[in-house]
Chains A and B, each alone.
Chain A
Amino acid sequence: SQTIHQWPATLVQPVGSPLSLECTVEGTSNPNLYWYRQAAGRGLQLLFYSVGIGQISSEVPQNLSASRPQDRQFILSSKKLLLSDSGFYLCAWSVPTSGGETQYFGPGTRLLVL
């Protein structure tokens, strides 16, 4: 069966510090991978998605970047965090099938920038 892991679960970082959040998927090959951010009281905002190794699409201009060094690994990074980067970061994967493309989410990382 497929599983998705995210770490760390919680992170408190000072403004201006770097960031690296990691997401890995097990039990599937060549998934589409996604990074979302959920700010307090707001919906999910798609930040990045990837359809293959090294292929990254950015949805909104921001202080963050993403990389996909391996098929089932997706990394979210920042060189210098801003207060506005605080939020709940969710990674998701999907694989197109004849039955549609269900998205499956990881447990999330709660980031607080102080």
Chain B
Amino acid sequence: KQEVTQIPAALSVPEGENLVLNCSFTDSAIYNLQWFRQDPGKGLTSLLLIQSSQREQTSGRLNASLDKSSGRSTLYIAASQPGDSATYLCAVSPSGTYKYIFGTGTRLKVLA
């Protein structure tokens, strides 16, 4: 059974810092891995999608990497800003399914 874990559960950093959010999954047989952002009381916004054949994806100040063999993904945020404050969720889609399994998220606060 696929399980997704995100560490740390919460993180508080000063503005301008580069930071790394971690996601680990127990079964390497995945189709996709996706990173999302969720603002309080809102739906999820897709940030980056990494296919199983890819190693990383970049969008602006965000870079996500995938190491399937070790069951890990990281989301790197460069030069963090207060507007980056949100909960970040990763989700994996097991091979052969249409489902996504979500981690419990990392709650990020960037201090001005």
Residues on B with C-beta less than 8 A from A42 are 104
Interface residues on B, range: 20 to 34
Verify A44–B46 contact, CB threshold 8 A.
Answer: no
Inter-chain contacts of B93 with A (CB < 8 A): 101
Tell me if B31 is interfacial: C-beta within 8 Å of chain A: yes
Residues of B within 8 A of A105 (CB): 36, 43-46
Choose, from A70-78, A79-87, A106-114, the stretch at the interface.
A106-114
Give CA–CA (A108, B95) in the complex, Å: 27
Q: A42-B104, A43-B105 are in contact. Are A100 and B43 (CB under 8 A)?
A: no
- A-side interface mostly: strand
Residues 14-48 of chain A, each 1 if its beta carbon lies under 8 Å from chain B, else 0: 00000000000000000010101000001110100
Asked if A90 is an interface residue, CB under 8 A from chain B, the answer is: yes
**A99 contacts the other chain (Cβ, under 8 Å)?**
yes
Do B46 and A43 touch (CB < 8 A)?
Answer: no
A110 B41 Cβ-Cβ under 8 A: yes
Interface mask (B41-56 → A, CB under 8 Å = 1, otherwise 0): 1111110011100000
A63 located at the interface, meaning its Cβ lies under 8 Å from any Cβ of chain B in the complex: no
Q: Which of A94, A99, A110 contacts B51 (CB under 8 A)?
A: A99
B64 partner residues in chain A, CB cutoff 8 A: none
The answer on a CB contact under 8 Å between B34 and A102 is yes
**A2–B99 CA distance with the chains assembled, in angstroms:** 20
B43 A107 Cβ-Cβ under 8 A = yes
Could you give 23 example pairs across A and B, Cβ below 8 Å?
Answer: A32-B98, A36-B102, A43-B103, A43-B104, A44-B44, A44-B89, A44-B102, A46-B99, A46-B100, A49-B99, A92-B44, A101-B31, A101-B98, A102-B46, A102-B49, A103-B44, A104-B46, A105-B36, A105-B43, A106-B43, A108-B41, A108-B42, A108-B43
